[in-house]
Amino acid sequence: MAELSDVYFVDGMRTPFGRAGEKGMYWNTRSDDLAVKATIGLMERNAAVPADRVDDVAIAATSQTGEQGLTLGRSVAILAGLPQTVPGFAIDRMCAGAMTSVAMMGASIGAGMYDVALAGGVEHMGHYPIGGNADPNPRFVSERMVDPGALNMGVTAERIFDRFPQLTKERSDRFGMRSQQKAQAAYEAGKFQPDLVTVAIKDAEGSWGLATEDEGRRPQTTMEDLAALKTPFRPHGRVTAGTSSPLTDGATMSLLAGGGAVKELGLTPKMRMVSFAFAGVQPEIMGIGPIPSTEKALRKAGLTIDDIGLFELNEAFAVQVLSLLDHFGIDDDDPRVNQWGGAIALGHPLAASGVRLMIQLAAQFAERPDVRYGLTAMCVGLGQGGSVIWENPHYNGKKR
């Protein structure tokens, strides 16, 4: 008889994130191979988990075609050398793909159906641009279900500015600049490197090299630089490349386990899942999606926003994060928020990003035994938000 179980984030690893396009470091690398690299690295680091104990593999991608087709969870599991008895599947919730992989695998563990699972995501935006092969149903526009601008993420970000006048371009620019500065400081302090899987890469001349760190960082960014950037989504707009996540390639993978498996295998989890929630909003202003999903996750956990000691919020756009901070009364420079920078600096390979947030939160938990709860949250295309609340197993009850 299956019993309900606690759900633990045992570990997570990712590839370095690369700039999408012909000049990016992964232009000659297959996206499924990126996912394989993350999977192998994670399993090697967690050798106490027998590969045949993995009950399922969930891997997300937004563009499920070509290298990102063929039921990624299953194909990557085979390519990564997992036993062929281990099943797998693919999942899609656009930007929240990996987050949904974790939520669904976590729910399966919590219900006692699984003991151990792998959950992650991959996106090669150089090979498969967002929406490149999509064919939106004409009824969306003809029947006025969805505003045409809802299919352009930059346009939806501009509309957050329209709705909330207090969210100025200057605030957005400052947030983007600070993301770059915090990410560089974290790199210099060695915060990211332990959780990065080195990837062999080949350039246009056929020479081999190694991808060891995120490629898209611009730590020298200034407010003057940002003020001079073009606004590609609207004449005289407020969203720029400097306050948006860049087009990115990369993969993430996490190892989840139930309480019984943790005890049996002698594992040391990095986080315990407390609650998760997804919510829908108007597609044309999709960036506010994490607000209702976070409220929902807090209700399910019996917590308030004041209980959250660390926030990892996906920076699809600076203004999108600012809308959540304003809603909950959190200062733009609150040290609890994205303390090692975010997607504006590190990149946002769509379906992979949710697990990046979790990897960073888990590493911060280890440094902060005074913090009990943390939040990972992100907006999602077509008007959605996703949030997961985690508990720190290192919590000692002593707040700073």
**By the 8 A CB rule, do 290 and 383 touch?**
no
Q: Measure the CA–CA gap between 220 and 256, rounded to whole angstroms.
A: 37
**By the 8 A CB rule, do 20 and 249 touch?**
yes
DSSP H helical segments within the chain, as ranges? 31-45, 72-79, 97-110, 139-142, 153-163, 169-188, 223-227, 259-265, 290-301, 318-327, 343-346, 353-367
Backbone phi and psi for residue 67, each to the nearest 5 degrees, phi listed first:
-60, -20
Structure tokens given for 5 = 């179980």
Of 124, 127, 327, 348, the catalytic one is 348
First to last CA, the chain: 43
Cα dihedral 57/350/96/80 (nearest 10): 10
Of 95, 127, 236, 327, the catalytic one is 95
Beta pairing class for 116-124 and 56-60: parallel
Helix crossing, 353-367 with 97-110: angle to 10°? 70
Of 124, 127, 327, 379, the catalytic one is 379
Q: Measure the CA–CA gap between 236 and 228, rounded to whole angstroms.
A: 11
What residue type is assigned to position 293 of the chain?
S
Q: Note if 95 is an active site residue.
A: yes
Looking at the annotation, which residues are catalytic? 95, 348, 379
